[in-house]
Structure formats: C-alpha cells, structure tokens
Amino acid sequence: MKIVLAAVQVRWPRPFLGLANLKACALADPKVRDGTDIVILDCAYRTEADVPSLVDRIQAQDPRVVGFTCFVWNWVGVAAVGRELKRRVPQVTIILGGPNVGDIDRETLRENEWADLVVRGEGEETFLELLAVWRGGGDGYRDVRGVTYREKGEIRRTEDRPPLEDLGRIPSPYLMNLIDLRTVNTVVNYVEVSRGCPYGCRYCQHGSRQTLRYFPVEKIRQEMDYIVRRRGKGSLQLLDTNPFQGAEVLRRVMDHFHELAKGKNIVCELNGNVVHLKEGMVGSLDSPKVLLAFGVQSTDGEVLKAIDRQFDLERVETNLKKLQSLAPKAKIALQIMLGLPKDTPRSFLHTLDWCLSLHVDQITVYRTFLLPGTGLWNERESLGLKYDPSLLNQILETPTFSDIEMNRMQELATDIVLLRTMPLVRDLLWSYGELLKGTVDGAQVHVHRAFMGWLRDHDGTLRGRLDRGRSMEWSRRGLFWDNEFTLEKEERVAVLKGLAAYLKEVGRDHDLPRADDLENRTGDEIRRYEWLANLSGYMRKLDGKIAGVRDALLLGSDIVGVVEELNGEGWGLRGIDVTKRPYYSIRQLTLSREWDKVRVASYEELREMRNEGVRSVVLERMWNTLNGDERAEQTLRGLMEGMESITFLDEAAADPSDGGRLGRLLERMGYVESGRHEVGDIGSEKIAAKCWRKVSP
C-alpha cells in the first residue's frame, strides 16, 4: 500500500518534522511496516501555476492515501493541490492534519469536499490505527479516536484522543535517517524538546492548558548530534513552549549544545516566558551563540485580559535585567503583537516604548494572525476583528484600532527595527531616550520617531531608500532584520552622519555627548563601514605582490562578506572572524556558500587555535590590538606555526616608525619585515600592507 505524505512548502523549505514523526512511528511498528510504502514528498507551492506539476508528482506515486499537514501559511497551497488531486483521482483518500484544521474539523470538511478525513491533535498513534484500517483491520474509522470523517454523506466525529504521555515512544526521524539534511535546503533545524502548554492564550494554537511533557533528554542530545554532524552549520531551534519551566532539561540540553558548537557555525534559539527564568539557569545561556526570544505581546492590562495572557510586568522586567547582567553574551529578543483585541495606538506605543527602554538586542513586531481554532478565531465576529484570508488571516482592523492607524504603527515599528540594526545608532538613541524619560511621554518611541522624521526631512535620497516597501528587497538579500548589514553601506553612512547632526542639534537643550565626541564615535563607525566596503579591493591589490594571498587566512572583524566576494572570483580564502557581533556573523554564514571557510571566534579563543596548513595570513586592522596585547605571543603562537608570511593590512601599517612591541615579538618568532605596499586610502589616510616573512633557519 502506497501512502504519500505531502509537505507543501510555501515561503521557504524546511523539514516537516510532524510528517517525519508519522513515518518513524509506522516503520517502528512491525504490524504496519511490512507491506506499507510511505513517501514524504516535498511540494514547493508558490502560485496556482505550480498545482498541475505538483499533482503530477503525487499522482506518479500511485498512492492509495495522501496526507497533508496544514498550517495557516501553507493552507492555500494545500487546498489548491488537494482539490486538483481529488478531481483527477476521485478514489484517493485525502487526510488532513495539523494546527490549521484540527480544531475546526467539521468546518474544514464541510467547506472542502475534496478532503475525506481530519486528524485532530497529536497524530502518531492515530496514524498507526488508520494504517490498520486501510490495511483491512478494524471496523472502519469509528474505533479510531481523534478523527473526523465522512460516512454516507454525513460528517462523523470520534472521541478525542488524549495527548501521548510517554513521548519516548516516538522514534527519532533524524536517527532513522528519515530527514536527509544533506539535501534539505534550510538553515533552520527543529528539535522537539517538549509538547503541551500550561497556558491558554487566546491567540495561540498551543494554548491548550496541557501539562508539559518532555522527550527523553538523551534522544534530544542525539538528534542535536545528528544535525550538527550532517550539516555543520545552521540554527538549532528547540521546540519547547517554555524551556524555563524545565530547568534540569534545559541545563542538560544547553550544556550539550555548547560542547557541540565549539568551533562550528551553529546557533541555538529558544522561545519562552521570562517570568519562569531562575538564576540557576542563566549560566548555561551565557553564550554569543544563543538567542533568547520572549513574547511580550502587550503590556496593557486590558489587552492581556482580552487574550487571557498572564504577564507580571514587574517580574518580567526584573528577570530581563538580571539576565542581561548575568548572561551578557546571549542575545535577547522581545516580540510584540500588533492588532490584538482592545489594543489601541496609545497602548501599542506604550508596549513598544517599554521594550525599547530595556535596551535589548532585538525587538520584533508581528501583525496578529487569526489562527483557526483559537479563542480569537472562535469569537472573531463578536470581537469585531477584520482580517484578510489571503494574508494568512492577518488582522487588518479592530474596533479600537483602525486599518490606517495599524499601518502607521507597522511603519513606525519597521523604522525603529531598521535603525536598531546599527549598534551605535541603537546605543545613542537609547541614551537620548533615557535622558528624556519623565519629561516626554513615551521617550524612547519619541526619540526614534523624531530622528527618522528628521532624516527624511533632511535627506531626500535616504527618504526613499528607508521606505517600508523595501522590506522584501532587504529580505531577498539573504540577511536578517537584526543584522547591521541589512542596509547598504551608503545608507548606513548617511544615517550615521544624520545621527551626529541630529544629536548635535537637539543636544543644545539636553545633556548629550559633546559634539566632538559624537563626531568621533560616528566617524569611527563610518570608517569601519568604509573599510569593510573597500577591503576586497585592498586584497586584490595585494595579489601578485604577496605570495599566497589568494589562498591566505584572513583574520579580522566582520569579514564574511569579503570572503564570499573574493572566493566567488576564484580565490581560496579561509577566515577567522573576531567580530564583536558573533551571533550575527554566524547567522550570515548559515546562508553563505562559504559557510565552512570562516570560523567565528572571540579574540581570546585565538590562543587555542592552530594553523591548519595555511602558509600566508592577512590580519586586517589587527596591528594596534596585537601591539597592545601583553599576551600576543600566546595569541599568535599556534596560528603562526608553519606560516611563511604575515601581512598586516591597516592604517597603522603605513606608519614608517618602528614596529614596537609587536615588531620585536615577530622578530623573536623568526620573521623579518619585508616591505610595505600601499593599497588605497580612506579619506586622507593611506592604507598599506606591512609584510613579514619567515627567515629560513
């Protein structure tokens, strides 16, 4: 018997872990394994034009049963493919499962005559019993708990199936090689840690008030091993509705992650409720490879009551500040929902201002989606929620929030998120907002909004380039919203120049940094951006002058883009990125074809690293850092072993004075200075490369 489980992909490819779990359970059961052929088929749906070819692929398998997992984001594609499949092959049985249909099962079957059966809730045990029915056992569907089906023109519903208590009974699809990560084109790798949710938030399909149930920790760790071994890069997303409620599980999982992540371009992402964070957990979270995302949604009491969400504002703020203090390396993201019931422009701005005041790394603002089966979905009419089914049920308007106001708030949020991608802009605007606290209502929002307005008034070119309509263009560049390179170099430079001018203008009435300090700080950042934009050109000018430069080790900060560009031209560079923003560089590498050519490491980690056969190294803007490092010899010793040439590419390299402490160290290590090469300039300052060569013994 042939069964096709169709993974309808819409926005980006990803492993459908739920479908893989179904197949894993089936293959592990000898009663159903023999004589059953289960195929998981990826179906990339973009428009209706894709439907015929997708149905051709399914039909070519000659299946008796076809199953679809349904989410709000792929439902349009599922419906289009399922409808055409049933038209062509009326005898095929089509089953639906997943969060988009499980709680509106009767409605789904009434409105979609092409579908035969809906699986409600967790599907592994249900799928095994359905397989037995299809193979001729049992008395039809009536004895299968958790299904809704058609029978003689009527829609029938069996009793609910209780959640599976022992999650250890679900075999790992990763360890059974059912998810081939060598062929799945995604950087996101899902690992199930738990199921269930103790909350009942009315906007969420997880809001079931179920007891948390955990997968065996050893299985979780083995799956992490498998993913890292097969992929070597990417993001591990731990699927756990609230990891901070399982302190011991979290500690053991994170300890294992840190062991796995050593020397690899891997990050870990967790979503949770910061209310349950305990001080003993913090140590395992303090890593630049960890992102902690916390759903704030709203700080307004009326809104929180309307969505049945518990939120202790004082405790959340206390725990966040404690986390920032005790785990400063971890990245923190706060998430807000726009368009919730009872929310108003004023209450939304208050929530946004509160998030900004905490000075976290990221703030993400989501439009609220009406998810089928949730409390908001069931009461959408009485709550007056207007939404657009063609935009994933995005809420467009509520009785307290007009569509015009909501679009304005989204545009403002986009502006703020965009500005905050630049570290110096984020820091300076936050400092200015802190100065205004108590004198201006919503000081942080006021500062960001005023600066963006000032920019648009003073720079007509920049006005168009910062328009929210370019968000898709930024996305297509393959960067992330939280990455400072989302904006082009010219845009970043213009924003920084504008920031210095703006703060100088408003600083006459406030205790802001002195004008010369502002110009120095923004000037240094502009110089950094100019340097990174020109670095590839500097390297090209060294080609032919310094032997081995095309296959050198490039060591410096934020070098991922340079390695990508030059290796795309046939170079063979490797890199060590000692950026101050390691999380973002690793995320950039997860999308890069050169992901295995660059290692992101802290400056201190250089002391533990060893040369792996490279004969030439180029250190960009590292002369002053090493010259002032009393432990520079330990830093360089392992890296320089077997190195024939060392090139310092720097402004300082143009200085004709003696090499200082670093020069003497290099001489002790057996190197002699062999010349300088001017490669360009930034403004009036010349950029040059100072080369040292190993003296033959």
CA-wise closest residue to 316 among 336, 294, 346: 294
Q: Quick one: pLDDT at residue 174?
A: 94
User: Which residues are paired to 67 by β-bridges?
Assistant: 5, 95
Determine the angle formed by the axes of helices 515-542 and 423-436, rounding to 10 degrees.
170
Q: What is the CATH number of domain 2-157?
A: 3.40.50.280
Q: Is residue 654's pLDDT more than 60?
A: no
Q: How far, in Å, CA of 518 to CA of 512, rounded?
A: 9
Q: Quick one: pLDDT at residue 181?
A: 79
Confidence of residue 659 (pLDDT cuts 50, 70, 90): low
In 3-state terms the chain splits into helix, strand, coil percentages (rounded to 5) of 45, 20, 35
Q: Is the pTM of this model over 0.85?
A: yes
Whose tokens are 């289009």? That residue is: 80
Q: What is the mean pLDDT of residues 569-581?
A: 95
Q: What is the mean pLDDT of residues 515-523?
A: 84
Helix/strand/coil for 145: coil
Q: How far, in Å, CA of 119 to CA of 128, rounded?
A: 12
Q: Quick one: pLDDT at residue 208?
A: 65
Q: How far, in Å, CA of 363 to CA of 346, rounded?
A: 18
Look up residue 437 and give its DSSP letter: B
Q: Quick one: pLDDT at residue 467?
A: 77
Angle, CA 107 vertex, CA 104 and CA 109 arms, to 5°: 105
With beta carbons less than 8 A apart as the criterion, state whether 9 and 78 touch: no
Q: Higher confidence at residue 390 or residue 494?
A: 494
Q: How far, in Å, CA of 138 to CA of 156, rounded?
A: 17
**Within the chain, which residue ranges are assigned CATH 3.80.30.20?**
187-401
Q: Quick one: pLDDT at residue 472?
A: 56
Helix/strand/coil for 165: coil
Q: Quick one: pLDDT at residue 484?
A: 86
Residues 119-172: pLDDT tens digits?
999 999 999 999 999 988 656 899 999 999 999 889 999 999 999 999 999 999
Q: Is residue 468's pLDDT more than 90?
A: no
CA 72 to chain centroid = 20
Q: What is the mean pLDDT of residues 502-520?
A: 77
Q: Quick one: pLDDT at residue 68?
A: 98
Q: Quick one: CA torsion of 558, 560, 566, 569, rounded to 10 degrees?
A: -160
Structural fold of domain 187-401: pyruvate-formate lyase- activating enzyme (3.80.30)
Of 183-197, 237-251, 533-547, which gets the smallest average pLDDT? Answer: 183-197
DSSP string over 365-383: EEE-B--TTSHHHHTTTTT
CA-wise closest residue to 33 among 3, 66, 7: 3
Q: Quick one: pLDDT at residue 500?
A: 92
Q: Higher confidence at residue 31 or residue 585?
A: 585
Q: Quick one: pLDDT at residue 481?
A: 58
Q: Is residue 595's pLDDT more than 70?
A: yes
Task: Give the CA distances from residue 320 to residues 31, 270, 335, 611, 694, in Å, rounded to whole numbers and listed in that order.
Answer: 51, 15, 13, 40, 51
**Within the chain, which residue ranges are assigned CATH 3.40.50.280?**
2-157
Q: Higher confidence at residue 304 or residue 654?
A: 304
Q: What is the CATH number of domain 544-694?
A: 3.40.50.150
SS (H, E, C) 292-335: EEEEEECCCHHHHHHCCCCCCHHHHHHHHHHHHHHCCCCEEEEE
Q: Is residue 514's pLDDT more than 90?
A: no
Q: How far apart are the first and last CA of the chain?
A: 73
Q: Is residue 104's pLDDT more than 60?
A: yes
Q: Quick one: pLDDT at residue 657?
A: 55
Q: Higher confidence at residue 117 or residue 212?
A: 117
Residue 8 CB-density burial (10 A; 0-12 exposed, 13-18 middle, 19+ buried): buried
Say how many residues make up the chain. Answer: 697
Dihedral-angle region of residue 237 (phi above 0 means left; psi in -120 to 50 means alpha; beta otherwise): beta
User: Which residues are paired to 7 by β-bridges?
Assistant: 42
Q: Is residue 581's pLDDT more than 60?
A: yes
User: Which residues are paired to 369 by β-bridges?
Assistant: 394
Residues 342-388: pLDDT tens digits?
999 999 999 999 999 999 999 999 999 999 999 999 999 999 999 99
Confidence of residue 283 (pLDDT cuts 50, 70, 90): confident
With beta carbons less than 8 A apart as the criterion, state whether 297 and 309 touch: yes
Q: Is residue 281's pLDDT more than 90?
A: no
With beta carbons less than 8 A apart as the criterion, state whether 82 and 116 touch: no
